[in-house]
A and B are shown apart, each in its own frame.
Chain A
Amino acid sequence: MIELNAQTIAFAILSALILGGGLGVVTTRNLVHGALWLILSLLGVAGYFVLLSAPFLAAVQVLVYIGAIAILIVFAVMLTRSMTSLGEVRNRQWWLSAITVVLLFLLLAVGIILPVWGRGAPGEVTSLSATVGGAAELGEALVAGDGFVLPFEVASILLTAAMIGAIVVARDEEDGQA
């Protein structure tokens, strides 16, 4: 059975956080509350990264998702004022979507996740490693000629495109500003 040690307990707490946060996001009426539940969920994911020996990614998760994206979500909510308080749910076919989602989940779990990472499968992880990976190897890999230097630069171009695109869209109302 599942061994009860500190890591399992941590995993359980984090899972509760993530799932609870997710539930909070979809059940709350208030969009700003939804964004805050999302933050809770994202914190749990950061904890997951730590358990998986990737603290760098955990910090990135907090820094980018919670520090920037969650703030932007709240800003976006504020931009559309009528959304801060929703009325009743107007979706009549929610039962259909519920069935579809459950089926999809079963398909993913039984068809893909369990055979690859489940018990006895080739990808099974029996215990979490006690040592933690560092960012130095990541850095070397990112700029090595035969490493990921091309995706590294492409990421930069992608970010540039994102910024230019966002500015073009957001400043749309200013006509004649060449």
Chain B
Amino acid sequence: MGLTGSDVLTTCVDFINTLAPCLVRAGWHGDIANLLSLLLGVVIVATVPLLTVILLIWIERKFAARIQDRIGPNRVGPYGLLQSLADALKMLTKEDITPTGADRVLFNLAPIITFATVVLIWAIIPFTPLHIGADLSIGILYFVAVGSIGAVKVMIGGWSSNNKYALLGAFRTIALIVSYEVPMILALLVPVLMAGSMGMQDLTRAQGGMWFIVMSPLAAIIFFIANLAETGRSPFDLLEAESELIAGYNIEYSGFKFGMFMAGEFMHVFTVAVLTAVLFLGGWWGPFVDQVPALGFIWLGLKTAVVYLFMLLIRNTVPRFRIDQVMNINWKFMVPLSIVLILLQSFLLRLVDELGLRPAPELANDLLANVPQTLVLLAGNLVLGAIFMILLQRHGRTLREADEAVAAVRDPAPAGGMAEA
């Protein structure tokens, strides 16, 4: 055919862009033509996460299996690729039991909201320099706002189940989600400070010279950890641990609705990975992206894969926290750290301006021109990180000595009986 990959993608964009004027010329009403082209865009953007979820479930299971020294699904389809499809079909045919006393409308609404709120975030993801669902000027704030609706869906799901465990699980989940939004949003302020805009394309373009993860690794780490907690991933998955509150707020859900919750969670994790890649790893930046914009999609995909696999790695290797540890980590470590980080980062940015270390606008995308200011910011970050690590270490030592003192009092004989639980 002679059509390269980039040609195909730009033609698609042109098709979307020219659909409206074409229809108008054909006599359609302007607004309706506009609506049609929007609809097309929406369907395209919404299908991306939905298709990836199927792949994600397979990746998750295979990865977890390999880490646990087993093979994982390998019977359904080549290498078990059709396993998720088989599971989906199975769930479709399972009986859906609505418990007595459950609020029917809300009970059915909760899984739908779960899915919808995650899919909505994809409207602002910049796939390539030219393709983004909606380049809102408040891009990142939109993500935060839509994410905060997540707490509502937990409440609806837990309360409508008419089950004590579900309600208890819902409260705990909400407390967790709501607490970890504070450091997450504070960490998000750092890229906004550095890019001077909240729009996602602006945030990506500002990383042309240097990725934000290098300029502010602490912000990336805080954002990453806070999102691990928000999505309920290990080591913060205490709320869906089978030995704890059974399945938390979705105890009473069976059949496909339960599948929706799970799929929604996978999608949420993937969305968070994409966002981390966009905000801190440079999004669609990569070699040759200026000449062939469509390559941005591939670079973004690669970076997302790295982040996602890293999340999976953590999930399968680290033990989980207790709820009081989770809360303490948030309010006594992450929130103070992110507050100090913002103060420090804004101070350093002002300092960089004063010292004239900012690259000239035409050199903004040049790696070497960005190195001086990066060094200053990186140094500040590392110093702050070191200080907090030392504080954490001392705190850990205090706790450990207190524990040992208590144990020594209770149990003075060295090779004696068992220490009490």
How far is it, in angstroms, between the C-alpha of A36 and the C-alpha of B146 when the chains are bound? 16
Q: Are B148 and A134 in contact (CB under 8 A)?
A: no
Q: Are A59 and B138 in contact (CB under 8 A)?
A: yes
Given A36-B106, A135-B198, A71 contacting B141 (CB threshold 8 A):
no
How far is it, in angstroms, between the C-alpha of A39 and the C-alpha of B146 when the chains are bound? 13
Residues of B within 8 A of A132 (CB): 137
How far is it, in angstroms, between the C-alpha of A60 and the C-alpha of B137 when the chains are bound? 14
Q: Are B144 and A63 in contact (CB under 8 A)?
A: yes
Question: From DSSP, what is the main secondary structure of chain A's interface residues?
Answer: helix
Given A36-B106, A67-B145, A55 contacting B137 (CB threshold 8 A):
yes
Check: A5 CB closer than 8 A to any chain B CB: yes
Partner of A63, one of B106, B148, B155, B197: B148
Given A71-B174, A135-B138, A62 contacting B152 (CB threshold 8 A):
no
Check: B163 CB closer than 8 A to any chain A CB: no
Given A39-B152, A71-B151, A71-B174, A62 contacting B146 (CB threshold 8 A):
yes
With both chains docked as a complex, state the minimum distance between the C-beta of A159 and any C-beta of chain B, in angstroms.
13
Given A59-B138, A62-B149, A135-B137, A32 contacting B144 (CB threshold 8 A):
no
How far is it, in angstroms, between the C-alpha of A38 and the C-alpha of B181 when the chains are bound? 22
Residues of B within 8 A of A1 (CB): none
Check: B136 CB closer than 8 A to any chain A CB: yes
With both chains docked as a complex, state the minimum distance between the C-beta of A86 and any C-beta of chain B, in angstroms.
15
Given A67-B151, A71-B151, A135-B198, A59 contacting B178 (CB threshold 8 A):
no
Q: Are B145 and A62 in contact (CB under 8 A)?
A: yes
Q: Are A63 and B156 in contact (CB under 8 A)?
A: no
Check: B86 CB closer than 8 A to any chain A CB: no
Q: Are A68 and B34 in contact (CB under 8 A)?
A: no
Residues of B within 8 A of A78 (CB): 171
Q: Which residue of A lies closest to B151 (CB)?
A: A71
Q: What sequence of 0s and 1s flags, for each residue 24-45 of chain B, a beta carbon within 8 Å of any chain A beta carbon?
A: 0000000100110000000000
With both chains docked as a complex, state the minimum distance between the C-beta of B144 and any C-beta of chain A, in angstroms.
6
Check: B159 CB closer than 8 A to any chain A CB: yes
Contact-residue bracket for chain A: 20 to 34
Given A55-B138, A59-B145, A132-B137, A5 contacting B31 (CB threshold 8 A):
yes
Check: B63 CB closer than 8 A to any chain A CB: no
With both chains docked as a complex, state the minimum distance between the C-beta of B332 and any C-beta of chain A, in angstroms.
16
Residues of B within 8 A of A6 (CB): 31, 34-35
Residues of B within 8 A of A5 (CB): 31
Check: B142 CB closer than 8 A to any chain A CB: yes
Interface set, chain B 119-160, CB cutoff 8 A to A: 136-138, 141-142, 144-146, 148-149, 151-152, 155-156, 159
Partner of A67, one of B34, B136, B149: B149
Residues of A within 8 A of B31 (CB): 5-6
Q: Are A70 and B35 in contact (CB under 8 A)?
A: no
Check: A56 CB closer than 8 A to any chain B CB: yes
Interface set, chain B 196-228, CB cutoff 8 A to A: 196-198
How far is it, in angstroms, between the C-alpha of A15 and the C-alpha of B35 when the chains are bound? 20
Q: Are B145 and A32 in contact (CB under 8 A)?
A: no
Q: Are A66 and B148 in contact (CB under 8 A)?
A: yes
How far is it, in angstroms, between the C-alpha of A55 and the C-alpha of B139 when the chains are bound? 10
Q: What sequence of 0s and 1s flags, for each residue 67-93 of chain A, a beta carbon within 8 Å of any chain B beta carbon?
A: 110110011001000000000000000
How far is it, in angstroms, between the C-alpha of A115 and the C-alpha of B265 when the chains are bound? 52
Q: What sequence of 0s and 1s flags, for each residue 175-194 of chain B, a beta carbon within 8 Å of any chain A beta carbon?
A: 00010010000000000000
Q: Which residue of A lies closest to B147 (CB)?
A: A67
How far is it, in angstroms, between the C-alpha of A56 and the C-alpha of B196 when the chains are bound? 15
With both chains docked as a complex, state the minimum distance between the C-beta of B403 and any C-beta of chain A, in angstroms.
23
Q: Are A62 and B138 in contact (CB under 8 A)?
A: no
Partner of B141, one of A32, A59, A136: A59
With both chains docked as a complex, state the minimum distance between the C-beta of B351 and any C-beta of chain A, in angstroms.
18
Q: Are B144 and A68 in contact (CB under 8 A)?
A: no
Q: Are A70 and B178 in contact (CB under 8 A)?
A: no
Q: Are A66 and B149 in contact (CB under 8 A)?
A: yes
With both chains docked as a complex, state the minimum distance between the C-beta of B14 and any C-beta of chain A, in angstroms.
23
Residues of A within 8 A of B198 (CB): 135
Given A32-B159, A71-B151, A74-B155, A63 contacting B34 (CB threshold 8 A):
no
Partner of B142, one of A39, A59, A75: A59
Q: Are B152 and A66 in contact (CB under 8 A)?
A: yes
With both chains docked as a complex, state the minimum distance between the C-beta of B103 and any C-beta of chain A, in angstroms.
8
Given pairs A6-B34, A36-B152, A71-B152, 6 additional interface contacts (CB within 8 A): A55-B136, A55-B138, A56-B138, A67-B151, A68-B178, A75-B171
29 example contacts (A-B, Cβ-Cβ < 8 A) are as follows A5-B31, A6-B31, A6-B35, A32-B159, A36-B152, A55-B136, A55-B137, A56-B137, A56-B138, A59-B138, A60-B145, A62-B146, A62-B149, A63-B144, A67-B145, A67-B149, A67-B151, A67-B152, A68-B148, A71-B152, A75-B171, A78-B171, A132-B137, A134-B137, A135-B137, A135-B138, A135-B198, A136-B196, A136-B197
Top 3 A-B residue pairs of the complex, sorted by shortest distance between their CB atoms: A67-B148, A62-B145, A59-B141
